Each structure stands twice: as structure tokens, then as C-alpha cells.
Copies of this chain bind each other. A is one copy, B any other.
Amino acid sequence: MTLSASLRVLNSWKLIEHQNCDSLSTPTQRGFPQVTCYFTKEIFLVYLIFNSSQSQRISWISDIIVVVSPENIETMKTIIEKFGHKRVTVVEGGITRHRSIFNGLKVFAEKEFSSHLLQKPEVVIIHDAVRPFVEEDILSKVVMAAKEHGAAGAIRPLVSTVVASAADGCLDHSLERARYRASEMPQAFLFDVIYEAYQQCTDYDLDYGTECLHLALKYCKTNAKLVEGTADLWKVTYKRDLYAAESIIKDNLSQEVCVITDANETVAQVGFLLPEYLKRQIKVETVSISQSRNDSHLQSIFSGQCYNFVCVNDKKCAIQETQQLVHMLEKSDIPLLHPVVLISVYLDISGNNSFSIGMEELASIKKFARETKKKNILVYGLLIQYKDPSLLQETVNSAAALIMALIKDRNPELIGQLLVA
């Protein structure tokens, strides 16, 4: 049993929910029975994207302490309750980084800070909510190093040269870039080391310090091991970082598509061609409709973290077919975690030159899409006209390009639209 927080990308970057993804993968035992991971507040909102890129739960983290500012405590508790997190403890932050972290640590040592005192861990990981793309690998590296050295922290090369200024605002000296590193997060400590450091440090440290490794060195003579981290550890600081995070998450959600077709011969032909084109850009799973009625097969696709589905059929406005898939997706945890894209491809084999569709029909598709969006499933329509077999390849190629565009953008405003390949 373990915990992991994840993101729902909602319209216009309203990051307001995360959830427990316990059911989505198999735990891996690594033999860290008593490790605690907790987050300092920083940008509260961004905490919620923690682990969005990390679908596996980390079984060896026993408790997660979330330190948030007083005004956000209720929101955070609501989120935790909604998604059934069992191992998260919310703690009120202080007015500085160090005071917040200290508050978090007290949960394991001072009764008045928690309704039930949590069991003191051997190692604690300290992480920033604003570094949401942390991977298990670096977490386990800093934990291993902390067990050996008492403290450890992730570092990265400096992007810019660091300079010191004199009192007159002019350059005093510049540091040789190669000899220094940026100290990033996560960091890990033997609990006794970091807790003692916080107990001994001064008010000046608590109010103006920024570096936990420094406290461990100054007050416990512990020279932290520095561990090279990956570029993913970057700190979401400016608006541009939110843009970058959005794009990274959308990229992560666009890795795989499941194409569902029925057994009708013509449909099957398109159902064969379409995946061929899609495979050039994305991993493709194909399922027949009869298979899709078999829950267990689709469940295995769901558990593979597929967030994109294409249903190919020859019925105009096949809402019922789509509805069935929506029900199955709802039963899974997939749309809780991230918005799911569902593209209903209508293969027009009538051979009519004029395509006609009633406004009421269009309105009912849009209404259906609006309802489905509330379940975090984005439904789009796509028409492929099957008239001239010699043009089929070009048409299917165009359909594949539209499907990729819809998957990559996940644009909630375009739901319920019928695109034409």
C-alpha cells in the first residue's frame, strides 16, 4: 500500500484535483519500509501535478506529509478525501520554507502537532511541490545515499554563471561555473540528523535560510552526498514553467491510442489502414468491438495507462456505441487521473456526394459531449468518406493527422465537433 498524487489537466489549466492511483500498477518492493516523503508548500496549486509523469506508485514510501499554507488546508483536505488518500497528513506551513519543513517534521516527534503521532521514520525525503516531474529513480538514489552519509541532495549543472555584487551594485567577482552546482530537490536525511539540525538552528536560519543540506552540515557535521539529478527536477517558478508543464503532461498522455473497430468488411479495411498510419507517430493497440465488450481485455488496456480511444464504425452519430465505451471508461480510474480523448470515427460508405446531417443530430452530439466532459472524457467526431477506393489511403492519412492533432491538443472547446478527413 502506498500513495501517489496525480494530475487532472482541466480546461484552461485549472489544476484542482489529484487522485490515488493505487489500482493502476503493481507495487515494487525495494526494502525501504520506513521512508517518509513530504512536500513543502511553495506554489500550492502546482503541488497537484506532483507525480503526473510518474504512473507507478512507490511502495516503499510509508507516509506523505503535505505542508500547506493555512488558507489552503481545507482545499487540500477536500482533495485528499475525494480521492481516498489514506497516507497523507496535512500540516500547516510556517511563514518561511524552513519553518514549514520543521512543522512537517514535528508530526513524527511532537504530540501536539498531530492528532496521532506518526511512527518516526528512518529516512525522510524533502521535496518541493513545484518540482512535479520527479522520478522514482532519483528518490531512491537520495534515500540510499542518505542512509550511508546521513544526508543527500540532488544537484544540477548551473545554467548561468553566478556572480557576487559589491555594495555599489557592480560586479565583485564571478564564480567558475564548473566548480559549482545548483542544489535542487529531492533531498533525503536520516530523520534524527535533520530533526536535530532544525531543533538546534537559530531563528535567523529559520527566517532567512534556504538550504536544508546547509543546516545538516552546520548543526550535525553531516556532509551531504550530492547526487546528479535529471533535467526533470526543474522548479516550476514562472508562468512559462506552467506552460512547459502543460506541454510535458500532454506529451505524456499522447503516447498510446487504442483503436476499436467492428467486423464489417469495409470498416475492417479502414480499421486496418488507420492504425498503420497512426503507428508512425504513436503506439497503437487495436481491439475489435466484440473484444471491447469483453471487459477483461479492455481492462488490460486501461491498466496500461492509455488515455486515447478511437472507435471506428459505419453508423452516423453512433452515440450508443460511444456511450458503451464511456461507461467502461467511467468504471475504470483512467478519466479520474487525466482527461481521456475519445474520437468517434464515422465511416460513410453510402457513396453519396452530398453529406447531410440534421442540426438536431449535431446538437445531440454536442449535448452528449458536454455531458461526457463532466466525466473528464473529451468526445470528438470524425467523418471518413469511403467513396473512391483509390483515394482511401489519402483520406485515411488525413484522418490519422486529425486524430493526432485532437489527441495532442486535448482541447475541451472542440468537443462534440464533427471533423471531416
A interface vs B, CB < 8 Å?
Answer: 149, 151, 153, 155-156, 158-166, 169-175, 177-184, 208, 210-211, 213-214, 217, 223-226, 231, 234-235, 237-238, 240-241, 243-248, 352-360, 362, 366, 385, 387, 401-402, 404-405, 409, 411, 413-414, 417-420
Contact = CB atoms under 8 A, between A and B. Distances in A.
Nearest to A413: B405
B170 A224 contact: yes
A186 to B, nearest CB: 13
A354 B353 contact: no
Given A359-B354, A401-B413, A162 B149 contact: no
A248 to B, nearest CB: 6
A20 B175 CA distance: 38
6 contacts: A171-B224, A174-B217, A240-B247, A354-B358, A355-B358, A356-B356
Nearest to A352: B359
A107 B213 CA distance: 48
Given A175-B162, A356-B355, A357-B356, A248 B237 contact: no
A189 B164 CA distance: 19
Given A248-B243, A355-B356, A210 B155 contact: no
A354 B356 CA distance: 7
Give the interface centre of A151, A160, A387 by most chain B CB atoms within 10 Å.
A160
B213 A171 contact: yes
Contact of A211 (B174, B240, B411, B414): B174
Contacts of A238: 231, 234
Given A226-B165, A419-B417, A183 B174 contact: yes
Q: Is the interface of A mostly helix, strand, loop or mixed?
A: mixed
Give the interface centre of A170, A238, A409, A419 by most chain B CB atoms within 10 Å.
A170
Contact of A223 (B156, B171, B419): B171
Contacts of A359: 352-355, 385, 387
| Nearest 6 Cβ contacts at the A-B interface | A356-B356, A243-B247, A405-B413, A240-B244, A170-B223, A160-B182
A163 B413 contact: no
Contacts of A208: 178
A413 B404 contact: yes
A127 to B, nearest CB: 14
Contacts of A420: 362, 366, 417-418
Contacts of A153: 163, 171
Given A243-B247, A355-B356, A356-B357, 6 more contacts: A153-B163, A161-B211, A169-B226, A241-B244, A417-B417, A417-B420
B355 A357 contact: yes
A97 B164 CA distance: 22
Given A353-B360, A354-B358, A385-B359, A163 B171 contact: no
A137 to B, nearest CB: 18
Nearest to A158: B162
Contact of A226 (B149, B171, B225): B171
Contact of A163 (B159, B180, B356): B180
A334 to B, nearest CB: 24
Contacts of A354: 356-359
Given A210-B177, A226-B171, A402 B413 contact: yes
A149 B164 CA distance: 17
Contacts of A223: 166, 170-172
A171 B354 CA distance: 73
Given A240-B248, A409-B409, A182 B161 contact: yes
A181 B165 contact: yes
